[in-house]
Amino acid sequence: MSSKQQYDFDVIILGGGLVGATLALALLQQGKKVLLLEKKPPKTNLGSLSQAWDARIYAVSPTNQQFLNKLGVWPEERVQAVNRMQVYGDGHGHISFDAASVNVPCLNYMLENRYLLAKIWLALAENGVTIAESRAQSVKTDVWSAQITLENGKSYRSQLLVGADGANSWLREQVGIEVGAFPYQQQGIVANFSTVKPHHGCAYQWFRGGDILAYLPLPQQQISIVWSTSDAEKLTMLAGEDFARQVAQAGHYTLGELTLTTPVFAFELIKRQPKTVISQRVALIGDAAHTVHPLAGQGVNLGFADVQCLSNLLAQSSDIGSWSLLKQYQRSRLLAVRMMQQGCDGLFRLFANDDLPGIGWLRNQGLNMVDCSGMIKNRLIRQAMGL
Ligand SMILES: Cc1cc2nc3c(=O)[nH]c(=O)nc-3n(C[C@H](O)[C@H](O)[C@H](O)COP(=O)(O)OP(=O)(O)OC[C@H]3O[C@@H](n4cnc5c(N)ncnc54)[C@H](O)[C@@H]3O)c2cc1C
């Protein structure tokens, strides 16, 4: 099996969430033949999606914004630029990040998961993607190819099979990749609110012992929150008005009283580190390859960076699933992913830990020291921006 004619597709991608769908689009635009397998295709009617706001909001870095813009899927509407961020410790510590201090128009962009996903799926249709709306049943690989068989009995062969099937990846398990899972014993609560005071494009984050609360600005004087907490069960049982009061209080009424505008969702927070992100003719991307604590809003950003890395490598290669290419992909992504996972983990544990005497004072003092150090602060901003 070395002739291209014997493949049904160049690449088969399992999972059409933000990361898998973006890779499919990037490869189609390179002229590759792509099959996208998605068990639950998203809604793509932008008019009806604009009737309400999605509580699943992402902070997308400027580097990834440029990438999505180049693919032609960046929405002009329903996006909020963040130009400032205020972070408060659980004592006297405070640090602020300012776009102007690093001469950039904004730190990142807030936008809805489902709206961006719809834009990408509309572009996929325009670019002639093949979609299979079925679950995969089995997978076989050899030195030259990967073959996937679906529940509907159909089988397809490709040079490369990509697993973009999320945190509990089926493909990862099928090819026998072990994964280290480290639960934070917390859930992330997300919901949107309208505010009394304007946010002026500023994001806020409060470390509250083990809990972390973020206010993320949205258009039309709204915010989205991510509250990482071990009290999720109690908080999500509250009536809307009571929950809004708790969120306003936890955020020191910085934006005044809040009014809940969406349902409230909660997710388990788990760091996942697969032993490897490649196997014979297989690569993992996005949450299938890594999950991080949401405190830095970097989960999907890491996934978009996987897409850029893998699609660049595939653009330059004739054997697009070769072992040397896959090893290069793994090598290129490992450091950035591990640094982000350890960074988020370290920060989470620093504030969750009260066992050592003086640790509370020290961590708040640390925030103040970073706040005064232009150099370290600029480096942190640039890293979060993907620069
Ligand atoms: C509370 C919280 C807040 C977050 N905030 C941010 C943020 O601000 N910024 C940020 O960058 N990230 C954030 N993240 C992380 C972000 O949600 C994920 O990193 C991102 O959604 C991963 O995208 P993905 O495409 O890899 O996976 P998913 O979105 O999980 O997509 C996987 C897709 O695969 C499909 N699928 C799965 N199995 C199969 C199968 N067997 N057959 C066919 N299809 C299949 C699913 O239907 C789905 O469409 C947050 C996460 C949480 C929990």
Give the span between the Cα atoms of 115 and 137, in whole angstroms: 30
- What separation in Å is there between the alpha carbon of 217 and the centre of ligand 1? 21
Residue 192 placed within a domain: no
Q: Does ligand 1 come within 6 angstroms of the Cβ of 245?
A: no
Gyration radius from the chain CA atoms: 22
Shortest CA distance to 337 belongs to which of 292, 376, 377, 381?
292
Residue 288 placed within a domain: yes
Shortest CA distance to 233 belongs to which of 224, 223, 245, 243?
243
Residue 374 placed within a domain: no
- What separation in Å is there between the alpha carbon of 154 and the centre of ligand 1? 26
CATH code of the domain in which 345 resides: 3.50.50.60
Domain membership of residue 294 as a residue range: 1-50+58-65+111-178+275-352
- What separation in Å is there between the alpha carbon of 29 and the centre of ligand 1? 23
Residue 196 placed within a domain: no
Give the span between the Cα atoms of 40 and 184, in whole angstroms: 29
Residue 184 placed within a domain: no
Q: Among all chains, which residue has been given the structure tokens 């400032």?
A: 84
Query: What is the pLDDT, as a whole number, of residue 368?
Result: 64
Query: What is the pLDDT, as a whole number, of residue 374?
Result: 65
Question: For the chain, how many structural domains are there in total?
Answer: 1
Residue 235 placed within a domain: no
Distance of CA 182 to the CA centre of its chain: 18
For 290-309, the pLDDT digits (tens) are: 999 888 788 899 999 999 99
For 109-136, the pLDDT digits (tens) are: 999 999 999 999 999 999 999 999 988 9
Position 245, amino acid: R
Position 199, amino acid: H
Mean pLDDT of successive 10-residue segments in the chain (387 residues)? 73 98 98 96 96 94 95 96 90 83 88 97 96 94 96 95 98 97 94 98 90 95 96 95 98 97 95 96 98 86 97 94 97 91 79 66 66 64 64
Q: Does ligand 1 come within 6 angstroms of the Cβ of 386?
A: no
Residue 12 placed within a domain: yes
Residue 130 placed within a domain: yes
Query: What is the pLDDT, as a whole number, of residue 6?
Result: 87
